[in-house]
Amino acid sequence: MTYRDFALLLVAATAILQLPAPASAQTPQARSAEARAYDARRADRRAAETERKMTDAERFQLLHSIMPVTIPGIVTAPEGLKIAAGWIKGVPRLGLPDIYESDASLGIANPFFARKNDSATALPSGLLLASTFDPTLAERSGAVVGAEARSRGFSVLLGGGVNLTRDPRNGRNFEYLGEDPLLAGRMVGGSIRGIQSQNVVSTIKHFALNALETSRMQLDARIEEAALRESDLLAFELGIEEGQPGAVMCAYNKVNGDYACGNDFLLNQVLKTDWNYRGWVMADWGATRDVSYFNAGLDQQSGAQADKQVWFDKPLYAEYQAGRVSKARVSDAVRRILRSLYAVGADTAAPTPVDMAAHGREVRAVAESGIVLLKNEGELLPLSGSARTIAIIGGHADVGVMSGGGSSQVVPPGEATFVHLGGRDPWGKWVRKVIMPSSPLKELRKALPDAKIEFDPGYVPAAAAGMAKRADVAIVFATQWQSEGLDGSLTLPEGQDALIAAVAAANPNTVVVLETGNPVKMPWISSVKAVVEAWYPGQEGGTAIANVLSGKVNPSGRLPISFPIDESQLAHPVIEDIGGTGERPVTVTYDEGADVGYRRFAATKAKPLFAFGHGLSYTRFSYSGLRVTAGKAPAATVTVSNDGPRDGATVVQVYLTSVGDQPRRRLVGFGKVQLSAGERRQVTLPIDRRLLAQWGQKGWRMSAGDYGFATGQSALDLGESVTTRFNHAELGR
Ligand code: BGC
């Protein structure tokens, strides 16, 4: 197998202004925006000074990384290096140490499990994090991963990923933050701030439109500029503004005909000119195909053994000597790398030990805040007191919880269970399910000591149904493994739909707990009473699930991604080559434009199974008094009350619903609010005017007129509405 095949296979600063952080939040010691701006200016000056002192050899040395990991027969790393995803030789005489890079957003990954006995805190998936709708939790998670990166001497973390969900079958959606640019942008901004608060550079990725894994090396994603600016690029734009990541990783695929890493429009025009991005652009591993990418805006070739040549070494130097690459461009690329390292103190930070128990508590808080209660008929949940006998079925619930595969895979502390899927060759090692050692069965037994809890693995539906029949409540755990390099399906695998149907037929009180990387179809939805989406809940997942089911934790997650009823509701029900890994070029034309996810449901008036923003609680919330002020800094004000019997958190959501007489649906403000039973609070959510605007010839443009807004329990379940008049205003680029 070649690396290319392998790559194919694997391949609201706190926008919640004026909202108090949830009681449990302990935001890391991230620096203020002013302090970061000062650091950035100082870093620019220092970078220029260092770069001036460099020899050309030293400059070119910084322009490419290699993979410091030996995979027998495939890659051989030079002796004496630490195992990592990337390594760049430093310049000790100028105080620049070697730069080690590690994956990524869900914890410190262990490439090919090559670092012996090195486990790390395994975070919940990106979709679970996004389900919290809480950028402070994103920041805290980022700080966990950043601290663990620094403790191992890594100075660059290859996360966070913020590709918008355009297809709920994309095998990497679990690493990302859903379908909405505002939510995804604010959440990734939080993660980046957290990572960089630990003196580690964060890398926002994969720029841009890496919305499918199948044929990702050949896929040409086509879309009109305005639609791109208003959707996928907006998520990056907001994330970069809020987090100021030191690096951007360009994607494998093409965008409008040019490979993303050699795409002058994306890199030079949008990123470096329109957004005035000051950090560096690194390629994805195996995505540098030509020396010409340097002038197109790529600053650094990555994992160079994965490419046909070390382009950004001798071949680039030859171009430089021939005058086709300017001295100014070389200096610019070098300075970008240096200033990003200096801006976060990555060049001087010493490895510092971490408190793994505290990190475990942090990631449990995330899991508990992001698990989504999708359905709860007759208030079957929470379980406390109501059930004397409980049948737990399937999903490896006796050993742990599912996680997602690929470069983001983390090996957690404790006894993880490995299910090999990929054969015996070295690449095959990469393809395996890792079941995190936090058993929902054991944790439920602890949480409900008076209940009799039995387990059936769920391989024989009739046997599971037999056990379910004897119980007061049956809980089926259903899993879906997803991985980088592989797109999936909306159908739960391995006959789990039939299992759920059999159990539901045997027991009217059936609960389904999903551990999935993506939305799935639920043909059994009307015959089960409750559904909980636990995503990939991370190393503390079993405890978090048990706490939600037993009522110790009141669920407050909301969907960051819409669940279609079936494939017919997708913008592209069939994509040629999906599920295959050929070398044939594939073109996907995103003619739905910026109408991704719920926006398309709103535009077409189709009703999904569950919409973006949906999520239930064990208490009831109501929203009233919506007001939206216009002007340069618009804001929505709304009063939220907890009208039910329990303390809990909700997510206030405000949507744009119309401009003039044109319907338009966009999330423009959100905030997570913790309220005691009976408590009410007024919250104010700032509205970024780009969310009210459209991209025109000269940049963002708002037309004068009436703008309609509404609160929503979800993007498609709107409440109170208001109309606000805005005067004409060009926003520019
Ligand atoms: C992935 C990147 C990752 C890189 C280094 C690639 O296969 O697409 O997200 O950071 O490998 O491991």
608/522 Cα distance (integer angstroms) = 11
Q: Exposed, middle or buried, 426 (CB in 10 Å: 0-12/13-18/19+)?
A: middle
227 alpha carbon – ligand 1 mean position (Å): 27
pTM value is: 0.95
What is the structure's pLDDT at 561?
98
Tens digits of per-residue pLDDT, 570-614? 999 998 766 555 677 889 999 999 999 999 999 999 999 999 999
Closest C-alpha to ligand 1, atom 3: 407
595 alpha carbon – ligand 1 mean position (Å): 28
Q: Report the 10 Å Cβ neighbour count for 303.
A: 26
One-letter identity of residue 142: G
Q: Hey, which residues are catalytic here?
A: 284
**CA quadruple 255, 427, 300, 211: dihedral, nearest 10:** 20
Contact yes or no for 217/4 (Cβ under 8 A): yes
443/398 Cα distance (integer angstroms) = 10
Phi, psi of 202 (to 5 degrees): -105, 150
Structure tokens at 485: 């390099």
351/403 Cα distance (integer angstroms) = 28
| 86 CA: nearest ligand 1 atom | 5
Task: Indicate the top mutation candidate among 284, 300, 301, 483 to test ligand 1's pocket, ranked by most ligand atoms within 8 A of CB.
Answer: 284
First-to-last alpha carbon distance for the chain, in angstroms, is 45
376 alpha carbon – ligand 1 mean position (Å): 39
One-letter identity of residue 624: S
Closest C-alpha to ligand 1, atom 2: 284
What is the structure's pLDDT at 38?
83
| 10 CA: nearest ligand 1 atom | 7
What is the structure's pLDDT at 483?
94
- Total H helices, total E strands in the chain: 17, 28
Contact yes or no for 217/307 (Cβ under 8 A): no
Residue pointed to by tokens 């652009």: 281
What is the structure's pLDDT at 580?
58
SS3 154: coil
Structure tokens at 119: 């486990």
Closest C-alpha to ligand 1, atom 8: 284
414 alpha carbon – ligand 1 mean position (Å): 25
208/320 Cα distance (integer angstroms) = 28
394/385 Cα distance (integer angstroms) = 23
333/294 Cα distance (integer angstroms) = 9
157 alpha carbon – ligand 1 mean position (Å): 11
What's the number of CA atoms in the CB half-sphere (13 Å) around residue 688?
26
**Whose CA is closest to 23, among 358, 368, 355, 357?**
368
What is the structure's pLDDT at 125?
98
Task: Indicate the top mutation candidate among 154, 285, 305 to test ligand 1's pocket, ranked by most ligand atoms within 8 A of CB.
Answer: 285
Tens digits of per-residue pLDDT, 454-495? 999 999 999 999 999 999 999 999 999 999 988 989 999 999
726 alpha carbon – ligand 1 mean position (Å): 44
Residues of the chain with pLDDT under 70: 1-31, 577-582, 729-730
550: CB partners within 8 A, 6+ apart: 382, 383, 384, 444, 447, 448
DSSP state letter for 23: T
386 alpha carbon – ligand 1 mean position (Å): 47
Closest C-alpha to ligand 1, atom 7: 11
Task: Indicate the top mutation candidate among 407, 408, 430, 484 to test ligand 1's pocket, ranked by most ligand atoms within 8 A of CB.
Answer: 407
Task: Indicate the top mutation candidate among 108, 484, 486 to test ligand 1's pocket, ranked by most ligand atoms within 8 A of CB.
Answer: 484
- Residues at CB less than 6 angstroms from ligand 1: 7, 10-11, 85, 103-104, 158, 205, 284-285, 407
| 101 CA: nearest ligand 1 atom | 5
SS3 452: strand
Closest C-alpha to ligand 1, atom 11: 285
Contact yes or no for 96/334 (Cβ under 8 A): no
Integer-rounded Cα radius of gyration of the chain: 25
Bond preceding residue 161 cis, omega within 30 of 0 = no
